[in-house]
Amino acid sequence: METNNLKGFPLIGDKLPEMAVQTTQGIKKLPRDYAGKWLVLFSHPADFTPVCTTEFVSFAKNYEKFQKLNAELLGLSIDQVYSHIKWIEWIENELKVEIPFPIIADDQGKIATQMGMLHPGGGTKTVRAVFIVDPESIIRLILFYPAELGRNMSEILRILEAFQVADKNNVAMPANWPNNELIKDRVIIPPPTDIKGARERKKQADCFDWWLCHKKV
């Protein structure tokens, strides 16, 4: 059976590859410059395009919320740094929104290729990729969006908050957390791994069954 070959592309659980990148705020060294912080690395198809412009405005307007979660934003597209600068100026002058985060100028496409941001049939434009990298420089989540669909900032913020709650409390997060249809803002306790634990779990926690227990954090 034929399968897609993802070998060489960073995957969830891998460390973000080391690279020096040209950005609108100077050279950044990844992942070193973001050590100790969460990083949202996202690509967009091109500067001066309508959906991308709405995304950048939304990222900018939510920037303080990302910072409160100890997270930084880093954009990327296969455009020259001069194009990025001019686009930022246009957004600031015409839409009255300042873009506070840097944008990688990957005009040779090397970073996009390395990160799997170029998909077959997409030409030389990057897809709308999102990589969430934790303070230890480990890739925790990868999302891909098509060109015609803008991203939801509330969902990316929700993901960051959920990761931080899960890591701090050694729990899992239910669907639609913190508004889950079954347990609302409660979190899921990892299931026991032996018979004794399974028999005792329902006595120790709120459970639907021994393998589906939850608690408040």
Question: pLDDT digits over 40-57, tens only?
Answer: 999 999 999 999 999 999
Record: fold of 170-217? Antioxidant, Horf6; Chain A, domain 2 (3.30.1020)
Q: 1 pLDDT exceeds 90?
A: no
**14-73 pLDDT, tens digit each:** 999 999 999 999 999 999 999 999 999 999 999 999 999 999 999 999 999 999 999 999
- Cα–Cα dist 91/87, whole Å: 6
Instruction: Compute how many other C-beta atoms are within 10 angstroms of the C-beta atom of residue 150.
Output: 16
Task: Pick the catalytic residue from 21, 39, 52, 183.
Answer: 52
Ranges of CATH 3.30.1020.10 domains, the chain = 170-217
Beta carbons of 103 and 43 less than 8 angstroms apart? no
Q: What is the pTM of this model?
A: 0.92
Write the class of the CATH domain 19-151.
alpha beta
User: DSSP label at 97?
Assistant: -
Mean pLDDT, residues 80-97 taken together: 98
Ranges of CATH 3.40.30.10 domains, the chain = 19-151
Per-residue confidence at 6, pLDDT binned at 50, 70, 90?
A: very low
User: Both tokens of residue 186?
Assistant: 């409660």
Mean pLDDT, residues 149-158 taken together: 97
Beta carbons of 25 and 105 less than 8 angstroms apart? no
SS3 65: helix
What is the model's pLDDT at position 193?
94
Least confident of 57-61, 80-84, 143-147: 143-147
- Is residue 207 annotated as a catalytic residue, yes or no? no
Per-residue confidence at 165, pLDDT binned at 50, 70, 90?
A: very high
